[in-house]
Amino acid sequence: MTAWKGGRRKTKGRKTSGSRAAASAVGLERAIAAAARELRSTGKALVTCHVSPDGDAIGSGLALALALRARSAEVVFYSEDPVPYNYAFLPGASTVVRKVPAGARFDHTFILDLSDASRLGRGFPREGLGTVVNVDHHATGPGIGGLQVRDEHAAATGELVCRLFKAARVPISPEIATNLYCAILTDTGSFRYSNSTPGAFAAAGRMVACGAEPWRIASEVYESEPAARYHLLGRALSTLHVSCGGRFASLYVTSEMYRATGASKEMTDQFVNFARALKGVEVAAFLRELPDGRFKASLRSRGGIDVSAVGVRFGGGGHRNAAGAELPGPLDHARATIERVVAEVLGCTASSV
Ligand code: 5GP
Ligand code: MN
């Protein structure tokens, strides 16, 4: 999941960049109108999202898939990684496939919740894509394809999909509403993070009016935990390391811990927030070992620190207050690398690290 945005929203920066902001708003409206036309004209579409999908990736993708199918389009929703256990209840989740049929040709390909081709699945086809439409709210990455609906101020890709549906006059069924509500709920950290904007609440409110049931969705997403997750969490918490005078905290999970607890990688969702929730912590990192011995870093900040810049330094990216990247192992090396760069960003002296 994308548990991000612990910091304050940059409304000030937006106001001061007046004319540029206005120009890009017009650009965004045009892109939404163009994407709406594509949505209405497609007969066969590929929908995809980023690897290790979260509630926004799956929810916005399923909403789009359901909307297109309701228009009698043929849709393949491809995700390299399986739908995480706590999103399997989402309407349409059983239709997500992990392989695109060989040689398939599409009128359109909709790429959701990523702007960086390195986060596409390995099985993402390079041919037969038709018109590519990229819908995303990440601050980093060049974008993919010719038609890009990108707004880093949107709380979730799901919020942008709501706008797209409005422009395309897509009827919102309770199933579509459930997916889009879930996308916004999870990317705002249950409406706690600084991306919990009036736009996010308005879109979520519309989805509730269209049939999304907040209590049921919250219970499926947050209160359907497998015991293995808690066993893994116990081990992860015991790795807590605080440095930089209490401003940086980190946790990790190794392959051995997965083996010992029977847990899997999607069960580590939100672990990083335990580190960020410590009083005084400004930057938090969570490292999880990948099957090849590298480490996936989840980075979070609150306040002014931009962790997307840290992610970018390692070939990753994300948002100001939530980002990620992959680092070479072994564990001690990965931990030291992150700690060094975070100390640099926080301006800690070597002795306080
Ligand atoms: P998470 O830590 O929840 O996996 O990701 C936090 C945020 O950073 C999400 O918005 C996610 O899409 C983004 N992110 C995570 N890992 C990467 C990465 O390797 N590259 C890029 N560009 N973004 C990432
Ligand atoms: Mn997202």
| Residue nearest atom 6 of ligand 1, based on CA coordinates | 323
* 263 and 310 inside one domain: yes
* 217 and 248 inside one domain: no
Any domain includes 352 = no
Any domain includes 66 = yes
Range of the domain at 57: 2-222
Per DSSP, the three-state class of 71 is coil
In this predicted structure, what is the pLDDT of residue 352? 45
* 179 and 122 inside one domain: yes
Residue 16 reports pLDDT greater than 60: no
140 CA from centroid of ligand 2 (Å)? 12
Residues 6+ apart with CB under 8 A from 16: none
* 57 and 26 inside one domain: yes
Percent of the chain exceeding pLDDT 90 equals 90
Which residues does ligand 1 sit against, CB inside 6 Å? 1-2, 4, 50, 116, 119, 138, 140-141, 298, 311, 316-319, 322-326
Residue 111 maps to which CATH number? 3.90.1640.10
- In residues, how long is the chain? 353
CB under 8 Å, gap of 24 or more: what pairs does 332-341 form? 334/287, 334/294, 334/295, 334/297, 335/241, 335/250, 335/252, 335/287, 338/250, 338/285, 338/287, 338/297, 338/299, 338/310, 339/243, 339/248, 339/250, 341/310, 341/313
* 181 and 162 inside one domain: yes
* 127 and 240 inside one domain: no
Any domain includes 353 = no
| Mean pLDDT value of segment 22-46 | 92
Of 176, 191, 222, which closes a domain?
Answer: 222
Residue 4 reports pLDDT greater than 70: no
Residue 2 reports pLDDT greater than 90: no
Number of domains in the chain: 2
In this predicted structure, what is the pLDDT of residue 349? 66
Query: Which ligand neighbours the alpha carbon of 323 most closely?
Result: 1
132 CA from centroid of ligand 2 (Å)? 19
Q: Which of 5, 51, 54, 160 to mutate to test the pocket of ligand 1 (most atoms within 8 A of CB)?
A: 54
Taking only the tens place, the pLDDT of each residue in 80-129 is 999 999 999 999 999 999 999 999 999 999 999 999 999 999 999 999 99
Which of ligand 1's atoms lies nearest the C-alpha of 141? 22
* 128 and 272 inside one domain: no
* 197 and 321 inside one domain: no
Residue 5 reports pLDDT greater than 60: no
The DSSP call for residue 136 is: E
